[in-house]
Structure formats: C-alpha cells, structure tokens
Amino acid sequence: MIVVGDLQPGKKLKIDGLRTLLEIGASPIREALSLLTSDQLVERIDQRGFRTAAVSRENFNDILSLRCTLEEMALRQSIANASEAWEDELVLSHHRMLRETRDHIEGFEARHKAFHMALLSASSSPLLLKLCSQLYDLNIRYRYLAGKSLNYTKRDVSSEHDNILRAALERNADQAAELLLSHYRKTGAFLTGLIATSEDTQG
Amino acid sequence: MIVVGDLQPGKKLKIDGLRTLLEIGASPIREALSLLTSDQLVERIDQRGFRTAAVSRENFNDILSLRCTLEEMALRQSIANASEAWEDELVLSHHRMLRETRDHIEGFEARHKAFHMALLSASSSPLLLKLCSQLYDLNIRYRYLAGKSLNYTKRDVSSEHDNILRAALERNADQAAELLLSHYRKTGAFLTGLIATSEDTQG
DNA sequence: TGGGTTTAAAATATCGATATTTCGGGAGAA
DNA sequence: TTCTCCCGAAATATCGATATTTTAAACCCA
C-alpha cells in the first residue's frame, strides 16, 4: 500500500486505524511496520509511532544513483556467471512482461520487476540482489506517486527492454550495462520533473 | 549480542529464552528481531521463528565486495563535499580512536566505526551511509567470530588509518579510496583464512 | 523390527487489555 | 493579550494469556 501510494508519504500511521482497516490485531501491524522500517519505506519516530517515508527530489536522486551503481555491478556479475538456465528465465520473464502489457496492465509492474531482477539473478551476491530489489521498490514508489496516469508503458521502454535483453543474451556486459543505466536515467529524469510540482504535498 | 558473537550464528532464537535473558516481554523481542531481519543479522523462517544469520566465506566475501564498492563511492562523495566541519569531526574521531586504543580496548570498536563513518559522513546520500553502516556491522561480526583474541589492533592498522586520514584531509580522493579499499581487503584476506577453519561450526 | 500415524509438549503468532507517554485545549496569572 | 502550567484525551508500547502451528516422542500395526 505504501509502494502503490494508498498511504500518503509522510503521513502518520495510526496503528488503530490500520487495525480496523486491515482487520487484524495490533501486533502484526507493529511487526510489519518494523520490517518496513529497515526497507526505508517506513520511518520510526521516538515514542511517537510510525509514519510513511517522506519523499523528496533529493531522496529520489539518491535512490536512482545507488540503483545505477548496484544494478550495473549486479548485471556484470550476472552476465559473467551466465548459464543456460539464466538465459531461459530471462527470455521467459521478458515474454511474460510483454504479454502482461497487452492483456492486463495491472500485473505489469510485477512482471517488469521480475524481468529486471532476472537480468541480475545470476549474480553471485545475494546481498546485492536483495539491495537491488529494495531499491527497485523505493524507486517504483515514486513512479506511482508521480501518477498512475502517466502511461509510461507506451513510451519507448519496450524497445529499450528489447535492446537490453539482446545485449544480455549476447553476453555483452558493457552494452547491456550502458543500456540499462540509460533506461533508468531516462525514466528518472522524466520523474524528477513531475516530483518538483508535487514536492510540497508531503506532511 | 549477535554482532559481538554472544549468540552463535545459525542458532535458533527462542523467544522465551530471550525473554527471561533480557527480562522483558515477548513483544519488544519480536519487534527487535523483526528489525534485525532487514539488517541481515537475523533470518526469519516461515512459522518457525527466528535464527541468527548463518555465516560462510561466500557471505563474507559478498559483504566485503559490496562494502568496498559502496564505501569508495561514499568516500569520493564525501571528499567532494568536504567542509571544515567535516574535517574537524574527522580529526576528532581519529584522535578519539587512538586514545581509546591506548586506554580501554573495549570501546575501540565503537570509535573505529565512528572514524570510518566520519570519513564518509559528508556524502550527500543518506541511503548510502545507512548501507555502509549496516555493512560495517555485518563485517565486524565476522571479526568477532574469528576470535576476539586476534590482536589485530596491533597489526599495522594504525599507520593505515593515519594514511587514510592524511589523504582525506588533502582531498586526494583517489589515494584515499585506494588506501581505504586496501585497508579493507587486507583485513578481509586475513579473516578469510580464519573463517575457513571454523566454517563447519555453524548450526 | 520398521514404517506410519497419532498424540502430547513446546514454541510461535496473535489477541485483548493495561500502563506510559504524547498531544491539544483551557484556565489562571502577569 | 500572551505565556505558562495543568489536566484530559488519544495514541503508543508493553504485558499476560490464548490459539495455532510445529516438533518429537510414543504407539499401533503390519
């Protein structure tokens, strides 16, 4: 709900409110919020409860920058360790993403993440993969906040994805990394503009 | 307690045991364990409770590799943003570390971390700093596990620290980064050997 | 004797309730 | 009017207890 934007950034998370909303006790909620705290999606304040992580352009650029560094690292490792099983999974996730794009826009985001994680999945570093996954979620949150309306799926991401896929399958790490980072920075620059307008809406 | 090694790696964390040990209720313990889960210090298993994170040479190298990448990035940012306040804090933390080395070995680790974090502290990326802090804790855990006996403080780290400090104060990012990474990799290689012997002791 | 099932014990996850802390309003004094 | 102090309301953090799940042993049957 935080990622998708159902809960406003910087908003106070009243446990009692969530309790009735989710129809479960307070303990599981506290536990969930505690977990999300370390994922940077929830902030904890002294003895004043929890709130959703604030958003800002600085924070967004921070995420984007880290993401580029880590994903490039992971991608190069992944290509270096490439196996046939990895290839299969990559092609499969790519196809599923395309199919989902046509049929139900709903599941696209999940497929999109699956594809990007598949690119990195042959990396030998579990820690790195986990960080990339977390940063992906932090980043996607901004995309949702910028407005689900932005039909960014219609841009030219499709061909970008195709090119990344091709480079990866060709084991061309340099090109794949360049394309991937370009892909991120392009959407990043696009979102940065949108954030500027809605910057003051945070509590 | 996990970092220092009071709780064995891979060991099951019985809530009731911790409850009597720490003399507090079960709820705070669950919450603490949940938080540590995202810090990679505690692993959660389906409905079977928690356990301390397992250790392995792969995991150690994983941590070390990420640490080098992220700290270099942070250090370069930090030096780029260097201010007089940063200089002051850096020199201060370095001096405190030296003083603690002479007087009470106990507090050395805290000072050591403070010094290393001070090096990075002028970085413009809060996320990056948080990650570095987490990775530091993961790394230091291995040092404790390898044995507190290893009087590594007597090695030659002191001069290494001096050189890093000097390079940082001179705003020589390249040299500082090289020295810092060399510093980590040297102790890393040192620990890797020790880990090999105690690898099978994990539950 | 060995395998599979049942059953009891233990541990976990959740719930309801209490105590502590924080937040906001209102009364009183300068 | 404005500042301070105090009190009441609300929310949080913790506790004790219950229910669900897991684990391990005991049992029965082949």
Mean pLDDT for chain A overall: 87
Domain identity same for A179 and A118:
yes
Give the whole-angstrom CA distance, residue B130 versus residue B121.
10
Q: Is there a domain that residue A130 lies in? A: yes
Give the range among A13-27, A107-121, B87-101, B105-119 with minimum mean pLDDT: A13-27
Gyration radius from chain B CA atoms? 18
Give the range among A39-43, A59-63, B21-25 with minimum mean pLDDT: B21-25
Q: Is there a domain that residue A123 lies in? A: yes
**Average pLDDT for B10-32:** 86
Q: Is there a domain that residue A2 lies in? A: no
**Across the interface, do A127 and B63 touch by the CB < 8 Å criterion?**
yes
Q: Is there a domain that residue A6 lies in? A: no
Give the whole-angstrom CA distance, residue B79 versus residue B71.
12
Select the residue of B34, B59, B126 nearest A34 (Cβ to Cβ).
B34
Select the residue of B31, B62, B126 nearest A34 (Cβ to Cβ).
B31
Query: Residue B123's CB: how many other CB atoms inside 10 A?
Result: 24
Predicted confidence band of residue A200 (pLDDT cuts 50, 70, 90): very low
**Average pLDDT for A13-28:** 85
Question: Which nt is closest to the CA of A45, judged by C1'?
Answer: D12
Q: Is there a domain that residue A5 lies in? A: no
A149 has pLDDT over 70: no
Q: Which two tokens stand for residue B90?
A: 């850096």
Domain identity same for A41 and A61:
no
Q: What is the spatial distance, in angstroms and rounded to an integer, between the CA atom of A51 and the C1' atom of D9?
A: 21
pLDDT digits (tens, 9 = 90+) for B97-151: 998 877 777 788 899 999 999 999 999 999 999 999 999 999 999 888 887 655 5
B154 has pLDDT over 70: no
The structural domain count of chain B equals: 2
**Across the interface, do A35 and B34 touch by the CB < 8 Å criterion?**
yes
Query: Residue A53's CB: how many other CB atoms inside 10 A?
Result: 19
Domain identity same for B181 and B100:
yes
Domain identity same for A87 and A29:
no
- CB contacts < 8 A (A, B): 58
Domain identity same for B177 and B127:
yes
Nearest protein residue to the C1' atom of D23, measured from CA: B48
Structural domain including A19 reads: 12-52
**Across the interface, do A40 and B127 touch by the CB < 8 Å criterion?**
yes
Q: What is the spatial distance, in angstroms and rounded to an integer, between the CA atom of A49 and the C1' atom of D4?
A: 28
Q: In this structure, what CATH number is given to the domain that contains residue A126? A: 1.20.120.530
Domain identity same for B31 and B125:
no
Q: Is there a domain that residue B4 lies in? A: no
Q: Is there a domain that residue B110 lies in? A: yes
Q: Give yes or no for A66 touching B (CB within 8 A).
A: yes
Q: Is there a domain that residue B1 lies in? A: no
Domain identity same for A143 and A114:
yes
Q: What is the spatial distance, in angstroms and rounded to an integer, between the CA atom of A43 and the C1' atom of C27?
A: 37
Gyration radius from chain A CA atoms? 18
Q: Which amino acid is at B172?
A: N
Q: Give yes or no for B98 touching A (CB within 8 A).
A: no
List bases, strand D, within 7 Å of protein CB: 11-17, 21-23
* Closest CA in chain B for residue A62: B125
Predicted confidence band of residue A197 (pLDDT cuts 50, 70, 90): low
Domain identity same for A105 and A138:
yes
**Across the interface, do A69 and B73 touch by the CB < 8 Å criterion?**
yes
Domain identity same for A168 and A151:
yes
Domain identity same for A42 and A107:
no
Dump the DSSP string for chain A.
-TTTTSS-TT-EE-HHHHHHHHTS-HHHHHHHHHHHHHTTSEEEETTTEEEEPP--HHHHHHHHHHHHHHHHHHHHHHHHT--HHHHHHHHHHHHHHHHHHHS-STTHHHHHHHHHHHHHTT-S-HHHHHHHHHHHHHHHHHHHHT-TT--GGGSSHHHHHHHHHHHHHTT-HHHHHHHHHHHHHHHHHHHHHHHHHTGGG--
Query: Residue A3's CB: how many other CB atoms inside 10 A?
Result: 20
pLDDT digits (tens, 9 = 90+) for B35-73: 999 889 999 998 899 999 999 999 999 999 999 999 999
**Across the interface, do A127 and B35 touch by the CB < 8 Å criterion?**
no
A65 has pLDDT over 90: yes
B201 has pLDDT over 80: no
Q: In this structure, what CATH number is given to the domain that contains residue B28? A: 1.10.10.10
Question: Residue A114 has what pLDDT?
Answer: 96
Question: Residue A10 has what pLDDT?
Answer: 81
A133 has pLDDT over 90: yes
**Across the interface, do A39 and B35 touch by the CB < 8 Å criterion?**
no
